[in-house]
Structure formats: structure tokens, C-alpha cells
Amino acid sequence: MEDQSRPTGLVKTNEKAVFFPDQQFVERATFLKKAFGNNPRNYCTLDRKNEESRNKEILKNYPPKEGYDIVQWPMAICKEGGSNAYVEYILSSINKDAEEWLENELSKYPDGKKLFFNLGIPPKLNNIVEKEEE
């Protein structure tokens, strides 16, 4: 059978879409919506080696608050993170599960992997149907 596939230009094989569960982690999803609006880059190139230095950049301008987490987009684990990140404080008790989810999800990928963050659940591939030409 002849291969009838053709390139769409929509996905590059070295990139991965990550779907953040916005209904499960509402507070963090609200933060990400605002962050994506202020910083249209919704991608993250993993770079754990320099995470600590980027985190220090952020903490210079955002002192710790008791009972709160400092959340940032792009995250410090991302090459794009650091001084230009969008930052807010979120109650630690609310943010804890979202942080665990992110840590678990990001642990699946090596440094250098480019991840595109989306809010919601991933689309089902069988729902993507190409219209037949007449």
C-alpha cells in the first residue's frame, strides 16, 4: 500500500505538547492563563542544569511569603525562564498538588526537550478528521 501521508507543518518531532489539567488545578491554571497572556511563549525548553541560577534571579525581586509558593512562567526549569518570567504568589496548600503534577510530568523528558504547554485535556486523535476533497 502506498504511503499517502503528507506533511502538515503543525508538529515537529522534537517537540512535545503537555496538557495541564486546568479543571484539576484551577488556581495554577488561572495563573498560567494570565502568564500566557503576558508572555506569549507557552513553550519550555528543559534545562535543569541552570535552574538554580534562574530561580535566584526571580527571588531577588520576589521575597518569600509565609504560606505561599512563588510560581513563575516560564518556570526556572525552562531555558526561557528567569528575570523575564511572569510571577505570582499562590497559597502553598493549593499549589502543592499542581507542583507535584508538574514535577512528575517534566521528569519524563530529558534536558533540551522543547515542551509546548496547553491548558485542558488533550484532543482525541480520532476526532481529527480530514475533510475529503470532492
Tens of pLDDT, residues 30-68: 999 999 987 667 899 999 999 999 999 988 999 999 999
Task: With CA atoms as reference, report the closest residue to 117 among 47, 46, 27.
Answer: 46
Q: In sequence order, which residues have a C-beta less than 8 Å from that of residue 108 and are 6 or more positions away? A: none
Lookup result for grid cell 480520532: 126
Higher pLDDT, 127 or 52: 52
Residue 1 in this model has a pLDDT that exceeds 80: no
Q: How far apart are CA 96 and CA 107, in angstroms?
A: 17
User: Is 115 strand, coil or helix?
Assistant: strand
User: Which residue shows C-alpha cell 488533550?
Assistant: 122
Burial class (CB in 10 A: 0-12, 13-18, 19+), 126: exposed
What distance in Å separates the CA atoms of residue 127 and residue 37, rounded to the nearest whole number?
A: 28
- CA distances from residue 71 to 2, 5, 14, 118, 127 in whole angstroms, order as listed: 50, 42, 27, 17, 34
Q: For the segment 71-101, what is each residue's pLDDT rounded down to a tens digit?
A: 999 999 999 999 889 999 999 999 999 999 9
pTM of the model: 0.78
Cα 96–99–105 angle (5° rounding)? 145
